[in-house]
């Protein structure tokens, strides 16, 4: 049996004496092919076998000889004399041999060639790593770099990924065969020789592939190419830059495979072996194809995300004002912070009576659908603001719209990317420069910071309300506070944790203490402060504002406002016309506008005397428009009527609506105010 084993068994059997010299060997083992037995018998095994780690092998076998503890299934790398450049894997087991008397005779070593198994295992491991590590981000460049980081040095000594340049912008990739003039961008490069390894082109370089080469062939028929590199390859003349890099790196083998999805070309993988002597075989090519398929899918997903993100960003820009409108007594600026949790909006809305509404909000979610919902909510806010609603009343009606949009979601197609629950926040404030007051309410947890002219900051405790679209809705509440002239208001729909507690000496508070600078400079410094706080972990919870609206208050010119108390008598209209005419002359208003204003004031005052309750007050404001306001203490609402031919009255508000650019009714704690707005022109036209 022993003779049969040592002459016919494919398992390598080796008998070593106590000096680790070979006493007998199985000549049928693959390790003994092309090796004469005379060159092995009598020699120490590490001297005659091409072990890659001879010292390790000697130490292991010596340990078995000394301790008697067998070695089972240990993996060793080796080279054969007939193929010195090719590496093999052997599974080694060793057992100590003892005579019946206990004398140690030597060691028996069994060797099994497991090269195919180990290579298959290595390929499976590479596939696992690629599926685990490649495509973790929806970024094309990052995905390409993740791929080369896995492949070097496991599969190649140099790895290059080139991507169709249009793919990086989210555009549709071209169909195969790839046209010769399509620009490719070098997206990733990695070499086992380090970053100084010669490259044909630097990272980020964009150019078309010279043809004909294996690279252009691969992106033409979508089939990989495995090439042994030598000096006699004629296609190297077509791409001299790449040929020079191949020669400088000493590359011996190349495999290039297309990154393709649905018959479109996304890019190209090129793998080179410089230190590994083995050429790429069929198994390697199949592995690269699987890697390319997975990577192409990841790149295509990233491309689609880029495209949707670009469209969503474009839609968001179109749905937002180009810049916040600044008014006579209020200067505004906005700050949108980078966020991957929501789509933000801001708005400044002119209101009657020289007031301004400030709105900041966000919709939880990403992409085109979230941007669309954001645009819907912002439009509703602007529409409701035209009705002169109090901030808490406006948010209550805005929440009705959000609830309606949320109710529509369950009936959307199952493939729709929208989350089933709509969640949004909004902070809404109204600033009145004539009374120097600000009224604010919020859906969610809004915050408003007042920076006084002396640099001190005051974080107002704004009542929190339910987020928009929430199933558990609590009543919205508003608060009103005075704002000194030349103060700064910072409004956000979420808390600003860096300002709490007030004694916090953080960078954000230091920025706000110097709030007398131009708003553009202040906005940039706030962005830097928030970014620095995020980097140092100033807010471990990750909370904080995604959008800020900055508003600096200024005194409203006193000579541009006139207020009169009118008698509750039939002569009030005539008195009002006389007072208004005198003031309009001081303001250099045209005769046509002055006449129209007198008619409007006469009708409003007459309506107040007849249907309202004293006291009666007339106010005229010369701002971006000419505003007339008549206030009385009656809560009754006037209605626009179309009087018949026989009626002697009922045409007052109809006349007012024809002469004024806009009109409406505003309610307060002391009654109502009927207002009108006219386009104001000077005498010079």
Domains of the chain: 2-113 (3.30.450.20), 119-308 (3.30.450.40), 320-553 (3.60.40.10), 558-678 (3.30.565.10)
Is the pLDDT reported for residue 441 higher than 90?
yes
User: Rounded to whole angstroms, how far apart are CA atoms 174 and 180?
Assistant: 11
Comparing 223-232, 410-419, 489-498, 603-612, which segment has the lowest mean pLDDT? 410-419
Residue 438 pLDDT more than 80? yes
Task: Convert the pLDDT of each residue in 192-221 to its tens digit.
Answer: 888 778 888 999 999 999 999 999 999 999
Region 114-142: mean pLDDT is 92
Mean pLDDT on 319-345: 82
Exposure on the CB side of residue 412, measured as CA atoms within 13 A: 15
Percent residues over pLDDT 90 in the chain: 51
**Residue whose C-alpha is closest to residue 539's, from 499, 489, 491:** 499
> Tell me, what's the pLDDT at 145?
95
Beta bridge partners of 131: none
pLDDT at 148: 96
Query: For position 669, what pLDDT does the model report?
Result: 80
Q: 591-611 and 572-586 helices cross at what angle (nearest 10)?
A: 150
With 0-12 / 13-18 / 19 or more C-beta atoms within 10 angstroms meaning exposed / middle / buried, residue 213 is buried
Distance CA 677, CA 656 (A): 10
Render 135-197 in DSSP notation, one character per residue. TSSS-HHHHHHHHHHHHHHHT-SEEEEEEEHHHHTTPPPPBSSPPTT--EEEEEEEETT-TTS
Give the model confidence (pLDDT) of 511-534 as tens digits.
887 778 888 888 888 888 877 765
pLDDT tops 50 at residue 683: no
pLDDT of residue 421 exceeding 90: no
Q: In angstroms, rounded to a whole number, what is the distance separating the alpha carbons of residues 360 and 98? A: 87
Q: How far is CA 621 from CA 249, 352, 504, 558, 627, in A?
A: 79, 10, 42, 10, 5
Longest dimension (CA), the chain: 140
Asked if the model's pLDDT at residue 117 lies above 70, the reply is: yes
What is the DSSP secondary-structure string of 438-456?
Answer: EEEEEEBS-EEEEE-TTS-
Name which of 23-27, 258-262, 275-279, 610-614 the model is least confident about: 275-279
Residue 419 predicted with pLDDT over 80: no
Contacts of 646 (CB under 8 A, 6+ apart): none
| 354 vs 516: which has the higher pLDDT | 354
- The whole-number average pLDDT for the span 97-121 is 89
Sign of CA dihedral 53, 59, 62, 67: negative
pLDDT of residue 361: 92
Neighbours of 384 (CB within 10 A): 20
The residue-averaged pLDDT of 602-616 equals 89
Gap between the Cα atoms of 262 and 602, Å rounded: 75
Alpha-carbon Rg of the chain, whole angstroms? 41
Residue pLDDT, tens place only, 168-189: 999 999 999 999 999 999 999 9
Q: pLDDT (tens digit, 9 = 90+) per residue, 524-570? A: 888 888 777 654 433 333 445 678 999 999 999 999 999 999 998 88
What is the reported pLDDT for 214? 95
Could you tell me which residue, 468 or 313, shows the higher pLDDT? Answer: 468
E strands, 302-416, where?
330-336, 342-350, 356-364
Q: Which two tokens stand for residue 477?
A: 């509440």
Res. 487 pLDDT band, cuts 50 70 90: very high
What confidence category does residue 415 fall into, taking pLDDT thresholds of 50, 70 and 90?
very low
Cβ–Cβ < 8 Å for 577, 544: no
Distance CA 379, CA 401 (A): 11
pLDDT at 378 > cutoff 70: yes
* Mean pLDDT (the chain, rounded): 86
42-51, Cβ contacts within 8 angstroms, sequence gap of 24 or more: 44/19, 44/20, 45/14, 45/16, 45/20, 45/21, 45/109, 46/20, 48/22, 49/78, 50/78, 50/79, 50/80, 50/81, 50/84, 51/76, 51/77, 51/78
Written as six digits, the tokens of 452 are 């006084």
Tokens 């169709």 correspond to 164
- Residue 328 makes CB contacts below 8 A (sequence gap 6+) with 354, 433, 554, 556, 557, 560, 623, 624
Q: DSSP string covering 510-535, please?
A: HHHTTTTS-HHHHHHHHHHHHHHHHH
> Rounded mean pLDDT of 5-20?
83
Determine the pLDDT at residue 413: 55
Closest Cα partner for 669 from 528, 480, 519, 536?
480
Is the pLDDT at 323 greater than 80? The verdict is no
Q: What is the pLDDT of residues 382-412, one digit of tens each?
A: 999 999 999 999 999 999 999 888 887 766 5
Q: Can you give the pTM of this predicted structure? A: 0.71
pLDDT reading at 601 higher than 80: yes
Tally: H helices and E strands in the chain = 16, 27
Residue 645 confidence (pLDDT): 43
Looking at residue 34, what is its pLDDT?
64
């Amino acid at each position: 049996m022993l003779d049969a084993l040592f002459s016919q068994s494919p398992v390598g059997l080796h008998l070593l004496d106590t000096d680790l010299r070979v006493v007998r060997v199985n000549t049928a083992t693959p390790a003994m092919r092309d090796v004469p037995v005379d060159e092995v018998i009598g020699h120490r095994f590490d001297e005659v076998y091409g072990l890659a780690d001879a010292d390790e092998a000697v130490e292991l076998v010596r340990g078995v000889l000394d301790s008697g503890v067998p070695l089972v299934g240990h993996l060793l790398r080796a080279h054969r004399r007939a193929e010195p450049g090719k590496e093999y894997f052997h599974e080694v087991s060793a057992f100590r041999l003892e005579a019946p008397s206990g004398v140690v005779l030597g060691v028996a070593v069994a060797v099994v060639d497991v090269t195919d198994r180990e290579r298959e295992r290595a390929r499976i491991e590479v596939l696992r790593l690629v599926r685990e590590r490649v495509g973790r981000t929806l970024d094309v460049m990052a995905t390409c770099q993740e791929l080369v980081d896995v492949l070097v040095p496991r599969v190649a000594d140099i790895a290059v990924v080139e991507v169709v340049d249009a793919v990086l912008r989210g555009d549709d990739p071209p169909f195969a065969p790839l046209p010769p003039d399509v620009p490719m961008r070098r997206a990733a490069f990695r070499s086992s020789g380090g970053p100084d390894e010669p490259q044909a082109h630097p990272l980020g370089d964009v150019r078309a592939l010279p043809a004909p080469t294996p690279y252009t062939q691969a992106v033409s028929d979508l089939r990989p190419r495995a090439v042994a590199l030598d000096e006699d390859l004629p296609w190297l003349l077509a791409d001299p830059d790449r040929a020079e890099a191949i020669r400088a790196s000493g590359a011996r083998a190349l495999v290039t495979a297309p990154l393709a999805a649905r018959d479109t070309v996304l890019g190209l993988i090129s793998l080179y072996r410089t230190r590994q002597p083995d050429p790429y075989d069929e198994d390697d090519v199949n592995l690269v194809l699987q890697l390319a398929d997975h990577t192409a899918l990841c790149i295509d997903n990233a491309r689609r995300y880029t495209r949707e993100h670009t469209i969503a960003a474009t839609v968001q820009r179109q749905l937002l004002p180009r810049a916040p409108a600044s008014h006579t007594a209020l200067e505004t600026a906005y700050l949108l912070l980078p966020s991957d949790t929501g789509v933000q909006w801001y708005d400044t809305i002119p209101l009657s009576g020289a007031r301004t509404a400030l709105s900041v909000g966000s919709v939880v979610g990403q992409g085109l659908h979230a941007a669309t919902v954001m645009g819907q909510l912002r439009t509703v806010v602007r529409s409701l603001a035209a009705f002169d609603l109090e901030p808490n009343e406006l948010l209550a009606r805005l929440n009705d719209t959000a609830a309606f949009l949320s109710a529509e979601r369950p009936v959307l197609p199952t493939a729709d990317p929208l989350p089933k629950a709509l969640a949004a926040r909004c902070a809404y404030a109204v600033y009145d420069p004539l009374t120097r007051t600000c009224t604010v309410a919020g859906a969610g947890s809004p915050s408003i910071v007042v920076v006084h002219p002396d640099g001190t900051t005051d974080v107002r405790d704004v009542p929190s309300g339910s987020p928009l679209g929430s199933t558990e809705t609590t009543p919205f509440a508003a608060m009103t506070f005075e704002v000194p002239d030349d103060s700064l208001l910072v409004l956000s729909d979420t808390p600003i944790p860096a300002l709490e507690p007030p004694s916090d000496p953080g960078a954000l508070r230091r920025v706000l203490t110097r709030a007398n600078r131009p708003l553009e400079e202040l906005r940039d410094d706030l962005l830097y402060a928030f970014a620095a706080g995020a980097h140092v972990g100033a807010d471990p919870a990750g909370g904080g504002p995604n959008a800020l609206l900055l508003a600096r208050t200024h005194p409203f010119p006193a000579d541009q406002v006139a207020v009169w108390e009118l008698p509750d008598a039939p002569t009030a209209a005539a008195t009002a016309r006389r007072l208004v005419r005198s003031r309009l002359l001081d303001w250099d208003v045209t005769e046509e506008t002055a006449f129209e204003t007198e008619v409007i004031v006469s009708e409003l005052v007459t309506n107040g005397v007849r249907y309202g309750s004293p006291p009666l007050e007339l106010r005229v404001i010369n701002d971006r428009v000419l505003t007339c306001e008549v206030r009385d203490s009656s809560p009754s609402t006037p209605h626009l009527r179309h009087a018949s031919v026989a009626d002697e009255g009922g045409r007052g508000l109809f006349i007012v609506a024809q002469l004024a650019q806009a009109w409406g009714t505003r309610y307060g704690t002391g009654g109502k105010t009927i207002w009108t707005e006219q386009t104001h022109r000077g005498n010079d036209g």
